[in-house]
Structure 1
């Protein structure tokens, strides 16, 4: 029997595309997903050979793919690597508190390669799958009330080593706590680059997507290269407005408007989260130049307060040095470079 409650994910940055990391830099628990997914695409070449069926040797492996697809908690150490590997740029400096470091993660021109280790089942057996030459495809973060932050990630690699065992002795992050919304701050503005906490926010999420594409050399079933596209940054915020003013600004472009605006109204959002065990660890997420859109509230015979979701797809940048999202993380990791 394979016990699916025994699972762990490890990750480390590679020095280049083809050289796998020797052991995980971070290991952490999971809330779901399938970890390392080796996938073979098998096809058949149709041939007429005197029978009303294909011959057994008409099947062939067209391609082999390696994917990572899982959900986890917002662990302070590993989250920084996932964010930096998705966005591409990370500047690390010493924080105010001794032994802590501040990481400002923004859009970069390239993203690094990673090695992943995924383990399910009996740790004394060869149950570890290792994915090499991986790039981050998507990273999403979601908060709802006081529930711990949910983190989802997908990645794709160029090769895999199957049915091995753990290397090294990296301690899992599961015992060190994680980021939570409790006592955090949640700011929003429909039409300004200075978000405020004037509106009640109940939940929100963002997703970063690199839209990876795999390329194969002739005669190769595994990818020879994985390339990223333009970063897609999507964000949603659910609010309980006091009145129609913020809805009016988005739809009409003015707090006194009466006609649907023919131009985009750019707003912003900023969220900060606390750590469940270490007050010195902090997480802040900031979005600027957000082209918000929203719908008007729906009638409900049962009443209650109206919840209005503001969303934006594919946030752009206002200058060549800009970033659609800025993630500021304080933890005990010295550097992600």
Structure 2
């Protein structure tokens, strides 16, 4: 038995308990989480600095978005000079759990809207295993096409469509990456929406061969390797392994052409993570892969921490917001003027 397999089998952690799901005999799952949710507040009390509302964009798939608009913007001139950058956000959850209205994601998007003075559109996409990948990617791209054509006043009046960023956390970071790779070859079809960059926060990537950080943190209490394996088993196309391009974008394939396109478009990419996350080696590998292809990419990898730390640690969240602000302003010089 190889050391890798021995270490993989040494864990006594129940991955289903960690993910908070129960597998059913027919291959479906029951989601057991009771995490708090926050309703949208299109007309909140005056002490809440951000308006938010939900808009269904596809009734047949129940894909919807939650829009966050800084209250101050609604009181100022809506001239083009005062429009705000647009962040399209994809939530995490391993493609299998969570939703855009969870309090953790709602509060994170609210804080981004305030601190970055940006309009944030958080996308609720279909989950696996009921809808395996690429369903989430399809929904992510559909949301972009909805934004570009919408008559929704909060977007047409206050968002600067020429300063759009795709952002996601964990599985959402994976979705932002693959959505970006897909639309890079059809940017003219998204006009007037113009993507300036991608922000991949602790993106969920994988591979068949265990990385050093996965072996080092195999029994991590937040995201043990056995839980990642279950999430990939539930979300990848049937019969695919973790070296499928959805999980491991660095595998050889057609992505080189797309990265060349991203390079020529001048998109910038930011990847964030920490060495307390079992996925950190996957994330740094993606940074190196993009660097080798000539993409403008920057990695921010902190010491300590854990997967999703910014959603529970205010000081870590504040540091990340500062990095986001620098990245967005450097990618859109006019905003910094």
TM-score (norm 1): 0.27
The structure with the largest helix share of the pair is 2
The structure having more radius of gyration, on CA atoms, is: 1
Q: Hey, which of these two has a bigger chunk of strand by percent?
A: 1
**TM-score after normalising by structure 2:** 0.27
